[in-house]
Structure 1
Amino acid sequence: MTYTALAAVAVVAALVLDRWVARTRLTSTATWWSAYAIIVVFQLLTNGWLTGRGIVRYDPDAILGSGHIVPVGDGRLVYAPVEDLAFGFALVLTTCVAWVWLGRRQDPRLREPGSGTGA
């Protein structure tokens, strides 16, 4: 499986986890998107540094675009393959979903409204 396919599967899995499995629905809140905007800026800086300098390299057959390292275009954004953004999104969302879900389990007052439990 290519990095592109794995990244796409990871994004779909993270969204399914958020929306229907854990029912945290973080992606439907402005707070989530504001926080993610801050995270993605630093992700781009870090990925750009690592890939732009050739510290991290990708097999051109496993990603969109070619193996040419360019700042924008050819399947890259700030030097990093777009798959890195998708995979990073999935990792951050999954971590936040787990955090919120576990917090709700620990404190019944934070459970989902209408679930029949909590205050």
Structure 2
Amino acid sequence: MAGIGYTLPAATAVVIVCVAECAVLRTGLFRRPAYWLTMVIVLGFQIPVDGWLSRLDAPIVLYNQKHILGLRFPWDIPVEDFLFGFALVTSVLLSWERARQRREGAPR
């Protein structure tokens, strides 16, 4: 089944991070403009680097086409890379924010 090998874990990671924030941690991170600015900055670096690594005309990183959806943009970047990137960066920021709140004794 196409997309299961890489797409399913990528989408699952996004869902887990969003549920963790909205139902458990409740740090308010998603309501902050600074968070979204951070994500834009991350994309500003991810797109050229990931595009260079995964470009179809001379790939450094190869993806098994049976394990991804096949949606690639811009510069041949598999959409799953953006999902994993979002989940990774957001989970780290949520961990930092939760630790800060605990240190400062902020209510959840």
Task: Confirm or deny a common fold (TM above 0.5).
Answer: yes
Q: Which residue of 75, 89, 101 corresponds with 2:98? A: 101
CA root-mean-square deviation: 1.3
Question: Larger relative CO (CA 8 A, sep 6+): 1 or 2?
Answer: 2
Quote how far apart the aligned CAs of 1:86 are.
Answer: 0.6
Q: Which residue of 39, 44, 52 corresponds with 2:42? A: 39
State the alpha-carbon separation in 1 of the partners of residues 67 and 43 from structure 2.
22
What amino acid sits opposite 1:45 in the alignment? P
Give ranges in structure 2 of 5+ residues lacking alignment: none
Deviations 1:14-52 (A, max 9, x none): 111121211112112222111111111111111111111
**Once superposed, which parts of structure 1, at least 4 consecutive aligned residues long, lie more than 6 Å away?**
none
Q: Whose strand fraction is larger, Structure 1's or Structure 2's?
A: 1
TM-score (norm 2): 0.87
TM-score (norm 1): 0.80
What amino acid sits opposite 1:64 in the alignment? L
Identity %: 37
Q: Whose helix fraction is larger, Structure 1's or Structure 2's?
A: 2
Larger Rg: 1
